[in-house]
Chains A and B, each alone.
Chain A
Amino acid sequence: MNKRSKSTQLFYIVVTVLFLAFFLFSSISLIFLVFLGAFVISLFELTTKRQFLKLQTILPTSKIRSLAMGLVEISGSTSCNELIQPRIGDKKCIAYHYQVHKKVKDADGHYSSQLIEEDKKIAPFSIKDKTGSVDVSTKHLDFLWLPEERSYSIGNLYYTQTILMPDVQVLLIGKAVNLNGRIMIEKDSINGVFNLTRVSSINKWTYYKPLLNSLYLFLGLICLVTIFIVMADVNVNDNLVIYHF
């Protein structure tokens, strides 16, 4: 079981316990505790995506010709000798991630999406920059923000597919290893990161992240002030509203 599924399980356990406690003891503080618990766990949840986004701001980009062994960040265009056939469409690609979701209705009449089929295939490929080329291991490689290609729906079934095409500028973080004189990038077991994304996507992320941080801070402050106002004792005397904190 990976780090993500462990922490997600922990998150669900804590939220369930707190909600049960709320219904048992009917305390408003417990509602707050539920949100606090959820927030704290989400802060510590170590997803590979979060780790990748954090590392890409810290790691300098290496030239492929002079790669040092260990954790590296490389940038270049993708190339592949034997492209594969995706599940949707006939345009051959380097990798695809195909998913089928089913829209299901529960007893209360609420709709939710359920994953009923998943298929992910990656052909052996390499990344090249101006100085050289390096092979990328296909094992445990995660993609981030790849474009969706020809997704469609029939009835209550949704068919989605993200693909990686050749000659796309990408950014990869992984571990450089020397396998019998051949340099290869594979998953870094210490940081648990081996992600690839398009350079254009990561540029957008870098551009909008500070704005997103400001939004989170602003929303956090609004929530805090709202909680204070809602939970404060209020008296109305002669058209005068008095809050007691």
Chain B
Amino acid sequence: MTDLFIIFIIVFIIFLTCKFFINIYNRLVMLKFNTDKAFANIDILLMQRADEIPNLVKVLDKHTTYEKDTLQRLTELRTRCKSVSNQDEKVATHNEMTSLLGGVMAVYENYPELKSNASFLALQQRVSALEDNISDRREFFNESINLYNIGTKQFPDLLLAKLMSFELKSLLIVTDEEKRYDGI
């Protein structure tokens, strides 16, 4: 067998290996940038929702029976999500905010005086409209994150993902309100 042929085989195998890893690298980079784009797409709506918190606190403050701690925590979360830059921390903050806001917005059922409060009703409508938009974009964001997480954990992609320090990312949670089925 000629030496040239052996060289060809070796070059060919090296080439295939390089091409294989370049493909994985490009795929991982694209998946990562997709998650960033998806987050940028939803972040603006999440911030708009967070900006409604001071109004909510103002309205609910008058009804002293409602837990002050929850409102205090919501205010803290709003400040925190404006200050943090890490995407995962932001997602965690928004997830906690989503749970608390769901509880606060549902509280009006127990307070007849809130049902007739125009400010609260207007606020509830604004938040509800925002939640509808967030719901669409959250689905898109969660799908991007899911594709990315699978991409970084499947073999052999995870070898390169580890080298590139690609960590798992958190999903945005779905509220209990959205999960609830009220029947027909």
How many B residues touch the partner, as a band? 20 to 34
Q: How would you classify the secondary structure of chain B's contact residues: helix, strand, loop or mixed?
A: helix
* Cβ-Cβ contact count across A and B, 8 Å cutoff: 55
* Contact B140–A58 (Cβ < 8 Å): no
Indicate if A215 sits at the interface (CB-CB under 8 A). no
Q: How far is the CA of A40 from the CA of B16 in the complex (A)?
A: 9
Q: Give every chain A residue within 8 A of B133 (Cβ-Cβ).
A: 65-66
Give B37's nearest chain A residue, CB to CB.
Answer: A68
**Least Cβ distance of A229 to chain B in Å?**
11
Q: Give every chain A residue within 8 A of B27 (Cβ-Cβ).
A: 58
* Contact B136–A60 (Cβ < 8 Å): no
Most buried by A among B19, B136, B137, B144: B136
**Least Cβ distance of B30 to chain A in Å?**
5
Q: How far is the CA of A62 from the CA of B147 in the complex (A)?
A: 14
**Are A58 and B37 also in contact (CB < 8 A) when A29-B4, A36-B12 are?**
no
Q: Give every chain B residue within 8 A of A231 (Cβ-Cβ).
A: 1-2, 5
Q: Give every chain B residue within 8 A of A244 (Cβ-Cβ).
A: 1
* Contact B34–A63 (Cβ < 8 Å): no
Kindly identify, within residues 218 to 245 of chain A, every residue whose CB is under 8 Å from any CB belonging to chain B. Answer: 224, 228, 231-233, 244-245
Q: Give every chain A residue within 8 A of B8 (Cβ-Cβ).
A: 29, 32-33, 36
Indicate if B131 sits at the interface (CB-CB under 8 A). no
Indicate if A214 sits at the interface (CB-CB under 8 A). no
Indicate if A16 sits at the interface (CB-CB under 8 A). no
* Contact A65–B136 (Cβ < 8 Å): yes
Kindly identify, within residues 9 to 64 of chain A, every residue whose CB is under 8 Å from any CB belonging to chain B. Answer: 28-29, 32-33, 36, 40, 43, 58-63
**Are A63 and B136 also in contact (CB < 8 A) when A33-B8, A231-B5, A232-B1 are?**
yes
Q: Give every chain B residue within 8 A of A131 (Cβ-Cβ).
A: 136
Indicate if B96 sits at the interface (CB-CB under 8 A). no
Indicate if B172 sits at the interface (CB-CB under 8 A). no
Q: Give every chain A residue within 8 A of B4 (Cβ-Cβ).
A: 29
* Contact B5–A66 (Cβ < 8 Å): no
**Are A43 and B34 also in contact (CB < 8 A) when A29-B4, A29-B5 are?**
no
Q: Give every chain B residue within 8 A of A58 (Cβ-Cβ).
A: 27, 30-31, 34, 147
Q: How far is the CA of A65 from the CA of B139 in the complex (A)?
A: 12
Give A32's nearest chain B residue, CB to CB.
Answer: B8
Give A63's nearest chain B residue, CB to CB.
Answer: B136
Indicate if A70 sits at the interface (CB-CB under 8 A). yes
* Contact B147–A60 (Cβ < 8 Å): yes
**Are A60 and B1 also in contact (CB < 8 A) when A32-B8, A36-B8, A66-B137 are?**
no
Q: List 28 A-B contacts (CB under 8 A).
A: A28-B5, A29-B4, A29-B5, A29-B8, A32-B8, A33-B8, A36-B12, A40-B15, A58-B34, A58-B147, A59-B34, A60-B34, A60-B38, A60-B143, A60-B144, A61-B140, A63-B136, A66-B133, A66-B136, A66-B137, A66-B140, A68-B37, A131-B136, A224-B9, A231-B2, A231-B5, A232-B1, A233-B1
* Beyond A29-B5, A29-B8, A60-B34, 8 additional pairs, beta carbon < 8 A: A28-B2, A58-B34, A59-B34, A60-B38, A60-B147, A65-B136, A68-B140, A231-B2
A-B pairs, 4 with minimum CB distance? A60-B143, A66-B136, A63-B136, A68-B41
